[in-house]
Amino acid sequence: MSRNNATFVDSQQLKFLKEMDKWLSNEPWQSEVELKIAMEVRNLITKIENKGYYYEDEAEFLNLMRSEYIEHKKKNKKKRL
């Protein structure tokens, strides 16, 4: 786990993290595993918000969840049309 490449978050990233955190808290997860992952990501988001930066390994983890979040948003937009 590399801890030497810290990236500071900007206001746009913070806004996105808040949106993703809200989604994670409101989503009706189907299994204990999904719920556990959602809680881990929410804890990580809180840590990043408090610190103001994140490390490369944390970014990789968040990017996986970010992909899920974006896919979810796309699916829900189609349902509303």
In a domain, 2, yes or no: no
What confidence score (pLDDT) does residue 64 get?
Answer: 87
Contact 55, 3 (CB under 8 A): yes
In a domain, 23, yes or no: yes
In a domain, 29, yes or no: yes
Contact 20, 45 (CB under 8 A): yes
In a domain, 1, yes or no: no
For residue 45, give its domain range.
7-80
In a domain, 50, yes or no: yes
**Tens-of-pLDDT digits for all 81 residues of the chain?**
445 689 999 999 999 999 999 999 999 989 999 899 999 999 999 999 999 999 998 998 888 888 888 888 888 876 544
Q: Which residue has the tokens 């595993």?
A: 33
Count the domains in the chain: 1
